[in-house]
A and B are shown apart, each in its own frame.
Chain A
């Protein structure tokens, strides 16, 4: 019985879902969510429920929900709001689920949780009350909580990443958070102040399968690995064509393997180096890197790939997927050895995620 892969795509103009049973032939549906800007489409692997987080200039932030893989949708933002007088929540940026609890990271940076599948929300107070909060500054994409890593072995432990405040860790379900940025650079700070306690521009944070204390982060200023839950970080950018990029995606089973899409630099245009597209992979936790180019455009590729727009699936061999700012989706069914475009002319792609049914 072939397993069906659902590729969940968030774009500037709605959510799309692509389906395949062989990862070669794909069908496409959408746009869903009334063509709202959707920053993240995510499926709870336990329930198969699909959530789409975003925000609309007219109607504000919401989490959309579909229990039937996109055929029908509802939406809610009940409780997804700061206290009266605070700068209002503008949009939802990231979604993650663990054991029936759904989390939403929002702009301006904050964290909410829902215990009723996104019908009602409650703010996670540890971040709101964090003493560093007044000193958080937005990156170019806004002051956003864009990444969550939930320890699958400890319901109380989580890491979040905020641009440009850095990585924060909680061991008590979000009651308290502490910055975990030691060893990551902030090159944009004055000399002598480039390793602050917080304020780094983390672009993407992911966990490693089977090693809950191993984290990888793509930063505005380098690529890093931590093997102690973020207490210390080591640079793993040697061998990469650039220290700049947005997304990172872990392998579904191998904690040594990580996929990246480096871009040429923060002020150089933010497209693939030499305008030649590649997914870069390490299979030794960052010691060495290899460019995977087969099937990808090797000239005039001036697109970007945003922080949530690279993903893997859980099949063997693992699939690798990314979406571009130009609206193309590329798929590899062989762990990056070769790619094929499966969608073109979509709106600018903000996120890709996978759900494997069966």
Chain B
């Protein structure tokens, strides 16, 4: 059994899902599977992070090992996945 990935969620997202936690462990081999895992745990969360292209939303970033990842990117066992909101607004 591969080690689960560790996913860190941004505070702005946590405010939309009252029972969500900032750190979550998931069995996932790709960023897309991370999104599926988050959605299974907190229904609707994938729609907040991804659009129907399908792609990660423009002002959301997913970083692994310092690199920005696309939805189809593969993840090594135990990867640490940071989901960030861009600095935007006014």
- Do A and B belong to a common assembly? yes
Alpha-carbon distance A57/B86, docked complex (angstroms): 9
Contact indicator B52/A58 (Cβ below 8 Å): no
> Is A301 part of the binding interface, using a Cβ–Cβ cutoff of 8 Å?
no
Interface size of A by Cβ–Cβ distance < 8 Å?
19
- Answer yes or no: B41 CB below 8 A from chain A CBs: no
Number of B residues with CB within 8 Å of any CB on chain A: 20
A201-259 interface with B by 8 A CB criterion: none
Q: Which of A82-90, A264-272, A312-320 contacts B (4 or more CB under 8 A)?
A: A82-90
Interface flags, B51-69, vs A, CB<8A=1, else 0: 1111001111000000000
Does B76 interact with chain A (Cβ within 8 Å)?
no
Interface bits B5-19 vs A (CB < 8 Å: 1, else 0): 000000011011000
Quick one: which of B16, B48, B49, B54 contacts A84, CB cutoff 8 A? B54
User: CB-CB < 8 A to B60: which residues of A?
Assistant: 58-59
The CA-CA distance from A78 to B88 in the complex, in Å, is: 25
CB distance from A238 to the nearest CB of B (A): 41
Q: In the assembly, what is the distance between CA of A34 and CA of B12, in Å?
A: 9
Of all chain A residues, the one with the shortest Cβ separation from B60 is A58
B29-81 CB contacts (< 8 Å) to partner A: 44, 47-49, 51-54, 57-60
Q: Could you say which residues of chain A place their CB within 8 Å of the CB of B16?
A: 34, 59, 75
Give the contacting residue for A88; candidates B13, B44, B51; CB below 8 A.
B51
Q: How far is the CB of A128 from chain B (nearest CB, A)?
A: 13
Residues of chain A lying within 8 A (CB to CB) of residue B51: 60, 81, 88-89
Point out the residues of chain A lying under 8 angstroms from B88, CB to CB: 57-58
Looking at chain B's contact residues, is the secondary structure mostly helix, strand, loop, or mixed? loop
Which chain A residue has the least Cβ–Cβ distance from B48? A59
- From B53, B54, B57, B89, give the contact of A59 (CB < 8 A): B57
- Complex interface: chain A residues within 8 A of B58 (CB): 57
Q: Smallest Cβ distance from A65 to chain B, in angstroms?
A: 12
Pick the contact of B52: A34, A57, A82 (CB < 8 A). A82
A15 to B30, CA, bound (A): 37
Residue A49 is within 8 A (CB to CB) of chain B in the complex = no
Which A255-313 residues have a C-beta within 8 angstroms of B?
none
| Cα–Cα, bound, A80→B59 (Å) | 19
Q: Are A59 and B13 in contact (CB under 8 A)?
A: yes
B47 touches A58 (CB 8 A): no
- In the complex, are the beta carbons of B44 and A60 less than 8 A apart? no
State the Cβ distance, A312 to closest chain B Cβ, in Å. Answer: 32
- Return B32 CB to nearest CB of chain A, in Å: 13
Residues of B within 8 A of A189 (CB): none
Q: Taking CB as reference atom, which chain A residue is nearest B53?
A: A88
Q: B15 — nearest CB in chain A belongs to which residue?
A: A34
Task: Mark contacts of A55-66 with chain B using CB atoms, 8 A cut-off: 1 yes-contact digit, 0 otherwise.
Answer: 001111010000
- Residues of B at under 8 Å CB distance from A? 12-13, 15-16, 44, 47-49, 51-54, 57-60, 85-86, 88-89
5 further contact pairs, Cβ within 8 A, besides A57-B89, A81-B51, A84-B54: A57-B58, A58-B88, A59-B16, A86-B52, A89-B51
Q: Give me the 8 closest cross-chain CB pairs, A-B, nearest first.
A: A88-B51, A81-B52, A59-B48, A58-B85, A58-B59, A77-B47, A57-B59, A88-B52
